[in-house]
A and B are shown apart, each in its own frame.
Chain A
Amino acid sequence: MSIQTLIDLPQNIKRGALIRIRVSISHPMETGYRRSSEGERLSRNIIKRFSCMLNGASIFSADLYPAVSANPYFSFQHRAARSGELTFLWEGDGGFKHVERVFMSVQ
């Protein structure tokens, strides 16, 4: 199963503008509280941490618990001061790790 992510940034970002970054990733976020139709407990499989860095400095991070919905979605703000590389990192159960990099151009 391939991992799909959606990363939404505004276009034509002006220096000093307050922008909204929206991110989601395909992931079941299995809670560990559900049972299969055979009555066996389904083991937990969640993303535990999401972080977004600009040129290596954190601008947003989240600790996730089973109460976060499948395909975790986050929307957060950033004051655009300079162009740079945005790194999006998801880490979770079973050694789950996914990284996306997007260049953000600030005029």
Chain B
Amino acid sequence: MTTQPLRSQAVPSKDAQVTLPGHSPDADRQSASSYEEAIRRFTGARVLIPGRIKLNIAVLIDNGNTVPISIVVIPTPDSLSNIESIAVFSERNPQHEVILLTVEPGHSSTEVASRIRLATSQKLIAIANFEDNTCCSDEVDVIVTLAACLEGDG
């Protein structure tokens, strides 16, 4: 089941009312651009370098309420700079910001893990900023069969 049947369920019954901001086609376009803006706000004018970060997440997700993710950052021959901060952004959650992490100063590699919610099938990006004014990112496409955020209370 994708978001399509959920959206059509939302119309008739008062009890089953599930409204989620940013789900008309117009709002989708809007959220796609501000997804990029949210990313730009984090990276600023940094130079993008390839290959230092990996976002680990299941591609097919049965339950969007609790999705394990892990982020691995390693040094490469091209870049040994220390990590400043790590962020995860979601393309189509109500808010693009998912999590922002600051690791122990003075480290060029790390592995962090958490559990997040996903409202629908979408893109997810992990970005690491480094002290030498570079950044790197890893973007993945995920399919969510049961969405988070939509169900009412009981």
Contacts and interface: CB of A to CB of B under 8 A. Distances in A.
Interface of A: 20, 31, 33-37, 39, 42, 58-70, 72-79
Contacts, number: 110
Interface size bucket, B side? 35 or more
A65 B95 contact: yes
B59 interface: no
Interface stretch (B1-9, B26-34, B98-106): B98-106
Contact of A33 (B15, B94, B98): B94
Interface stretch (B46-54, B129-137, B146-154): B146-154
Given A33-B149, A72-B114, A72-B115, 6 more contacts: A37-B152, A63-B101, A69-B114, A70-B66, A73-B114, A79-B104
Given A31-B149, A37-B153, A68-B98, A73 B115 contact: yes
A74 B116 contact: no
